[in-house]
Amino acid sequence: MDDANTQTGEEKHPTATPTPQNAAVKGDFAKTVLMPGDPLRSKFVAENYFENAKLVNDVRGIQGYTGTYKGQPVSVMASGMGMPSMGIYSYELFNFYDVDHIIRIGTAGAINKDLKVRSVVAGIAASTNAEYAMSQFPIRGHFSASASFRMLETAVGAAREQGIEIVVGNLYTSDLFYDASGAAVEWGKLAHLAVEMEAYGLYTNAMQAGKEALAICTISDHVLTGESLDAYTRQTAFTDMMEIALETAIRL
C-alpha cells in the first residue's frame, strides 16, 4: 500500500461530497449516525423518534435522515446488507462527512443457546470469515475489530436505565447469508453470541479513521432452534434496540 493510501479520507478526497452513493453535503449529517441495514428501518426511526426529520440522502433508496432526539442532533441512514455495502457507507460518513460515531442497529441470528428471539446484544468485538481488514491494511496477521468501549459502556448504562436487558459479547460477521458449512454454529462454541453481516466492517473502518462505532443487534432468528421472525417485524418492532441507540447517541 503506498503512502497516498495511508492518508485520511479528507486528505485523499478533499471534494468527495456528494459521492456516487450519497447526495448529502457536509453538515447534513449529525456527529452520531444510527445505521440499520434496512432503509425502511431508517425511515421508521426518523418518523417515530426524530423531531424535524429531514431526508438528506435517497440515492439507491438508501434513506438518510437528520433530525433531533430530545433536542440533540442525530442522524439515521441505512447501510444496506453485508460488509461491502457497510464498508462504503460507513467509510464515507467517517472520512467525508465528519461523522464521529456510528451505531449499527441491526438484526442477528443467535448462535448461543441462552439467547432468545428478540434479545438485544451488543458486540464488544467481531470475528469474520472475510478478508475485509487484510485488504485494507499493510499488515501481516489477523486484525481484531473492536467496538468503542466508551460507546459500549454508554449503551449498557442506557439499557439499564430503561429496564432493558442487553447481552454483551462477541459477534461473528459472515460474508455469507446462506452458508451450508455450519460455520456459525462452530463460532457459537467459541463464545460468540450471534451471526450478522456488517459489524466487522464497521469496526474496522472506525478504527482506521480514528472514530468510534458500536453494533447493537436484536435477535431475529435462532440458528440453533430454527425460530425466526417475519420481515415486517424486523423492520418496525425492535424498538428496544432503537431506543438504547438513541439514548446512547445523545450522551456521546
- 226, burial (CB in 10 Å: exposed 0-12, middle 13-18, buried 19+): exposed
Distance CA 58, CA 199 (A): 23
User: What is the C-alpha separation between 153 and 104, in angstroms, rounded?
Assistant: 15
221 part of the active site: yes
Which of the residues 98, 175, 179, 221 is marked catalytic? Answer: 221
The C-alpha cell at 99 is 461523522
In terms of Cα–Cα distance, which of 65, 47, 102 is closest to 248? 102
Residue from 93, 76, 98 nearest 201 by CA = 93
- Residues making up the chain, counted from first to last: 252
Give whole-number Cα distances, 75 to 24, 93, 152, in Å: 12, 11, 19
Residues forming the active site: 221
